[in-house]
Structure 1
Amino acid sequence: RLTFGEQRRGKAKQVISCDRSHKKYDLCSITGATVVDPATSTFFLVDPTISGPGSIVEKIKPYPRKWENFPMQRIKELTITSGPSGPECEVQHNSPAIVFSAGGYTGNVFHDFNDGFIPLFITINSIYKNQDVVIVVSKARDWWLNRYKNLLHVFSSHPIVTLDNDTSTHCFPSATLGLMSYGFMALMPNSSQTLLHFRGLLDKAFGHHGQYSIFNPPPKSDSPPRLVFMSRSKGIGREILNQDEAVKVAKEIGFDVILFEPTGKISLQQAYGLINSSHAMVGMHGAALTHSLFLRPGSAFMQVMPLGIDWVGKMCFGEPARAIGIQYIEYKIKVEESSLVEKYDKNDMVIKDPASFQGRNWSFDVMKIYLKEQNVKLDLVRFRDYLMEAYSKAKTFMEKMG
């Protein structure tokens, strides 16, 4: 940890400090009057006791994937400096700023939450618990602001300050640049705040809007359990090739099945309304399963796991589901269900031992094989057994919770 500043007699310490000890993120703090100039992406610590030009200059890319070059190349670097004066203040804020980037992998719903909103939740609860904050965002595109405005306003009651579009200087009593992250959809170890608390924020943001118009109405008390069957577009990999037949099996078992493919045209309020009112979800491993956070605790969730995805699937969606009290089921496909057997010999390490083939290198080439080139044709006899387990859990949940 690097700390700069000085103690002024009888007054609070004016400090710029940057902690670069973490693998996933850097975190810089400005303790003292802070002026932000969006035109230069510079944060000034204003301290009249400093004589001469400010000698402190820190740089930070406020996005919690610092170990990964590809997304970090797309993150704008922000500058922190200090001096006896800064730019003239045009907009005064009474709450501290929390600053991060919505660049990188933003646009993929998993990364929107994993690299954005969950780290934001952690950082606010770690540094500004029970305090009001102003959110300052770099690379905040209009679609992102519109899609997530309700969630952003749960974190902060103030208008969002966007560094790329704003031309006014802003003043804050202090600022934190960067977000804390502890792994796939994970909160700080041993924290009193859990993923269930985070889900509570989602309910505040997206719940109680009553937007069911694009789907069936909410299920009635005498209806069968509702299953949201997550669908994937053709041509992007990990498609369930016999999806229609799988849906038919689910209906035969007794589910009321809603086939759902999230798109930008469907608001998060609408998606939340559908999923939160349902009793089960089934889907192929992929970013869209981030919507499992919208399931109520106690409902059932089955992830279809293609070859080579074991640890990724567990960490991204299996463990988070369990953490919020969802009854998690894992359908690991057999080799014969993967389209990769048409391209690779069954004795090829790609098929025979994906873990050894991957080693410790989850590279682009490895991802391409298992995430892009692979489709799945479900063994419907075997899949039926798993669906029956999901139905049993969903029906019990429905009878208890409605």
Structure 2
Amino acid sequence: MRPASLILALTLAAAPPAAQACGGSFSGFVADLEREAVSRGHDPAAARRFFSGIRQSPSVLKADRAQGVFQKPFIDFARNLISASRLKQGQAKSGQYDAVFDRIERTYGVNRGVLLAFWAFETDYGGFQGNFNTANALVTLSHDCRRPELFRPQVFAALELYERGAFDPATTTGAWAGEIGMVQMLPRDIIESGVDADGDGRVSLKTSAPDALTSGAAMLSSFGWRAGEPWLQEVRVPAGMDWSQSGVDVSKPVRDWEAMGVSARSGNLSHGLTASLILPQGHKGPAFLAYPNFNVYFDWNQSFTYVLTAAYFATRLEGAPVFDARAPETGLSGADMKSLQRRLQARGHDVGKIDGILGAGTRAAVQKEQARLGLPADAWPTPALLSRL
């Protein structure tokens, strides 16, 4: 469903100059990968065996270009992913693996709800882990010129796993973007954070829930997860506050938000921390305070809507009530969102790809234009904004 933790690839050590090459003959590209692998110190015979059966995967490219689900607004997206069945099953899994979660929380400080939510969304608690050939997927996406710098390092990580006897290029399968196992980890993540939690001598992310959950927790910990701190809390907001202060780029002490009239919908706000005010569908829709741990989610997945939904579901699994949808203003269709992005781009805003998805760049541009036009600057694009532009 998602390119899990692809941001890790951006932090890897610089590769040889050829590492940025993409496109051209696929067979020639694979031959270049094999030569580069040997230059990196991989065993020539192992590299030859690993790359000998690699095939380009049209189905991977199709999946990469068909992520329309992320065009849905938060309320629809969350209601689509969070069902009574998923919630009930999550609660059952929490009990089934209670000792595992207790050990994870003691060791890594990652709450069980956080891991259960990822487990649910990524593979439906391990029920569907993807049937794409992982080696083919990674090489295909490396050859494709959209994001080769993200996927190419993962090819060499998969080769390293193969040399360790932990990966079979012919039979290892997973998601279309190369993630493997119950919580969907990329090869580099497995090398850096894989944990043999069940003590059988192997890191088995596809068949061992303790291994998968503990490895996921280790990865979140490496991203900077802060033990004992919250990640997301639903709040109530007063009418007429300065909406330009909302968004993940603005962080304030919680007491400052409280002074502005923000209050917890249930429980208490976490004083002593900073937080951002999140209005996924504008000032008339649901509202959340996102604490520092929320930012760690973006190292797992870079979709704002996915991250917010996963973080919210984690709170539900730990007892939070269903969010108050309130009455958000009507948003834009996918076609209208693309039209908006073009108009924003024409005004000099960097909105990234024209894809109809309300990502971080589009939200920032919308908020700036709303402020310029005297509209509530809540980063939620409406037909009225589109008309004004």
Higher strand share: 1
Per the TM superposition, whether the score is higher than 0.5 is no
Please tell me whether Structure 1 or Structure 2 has the larger radius of gyration of its CA atoms. 1
Higher helix share: 2
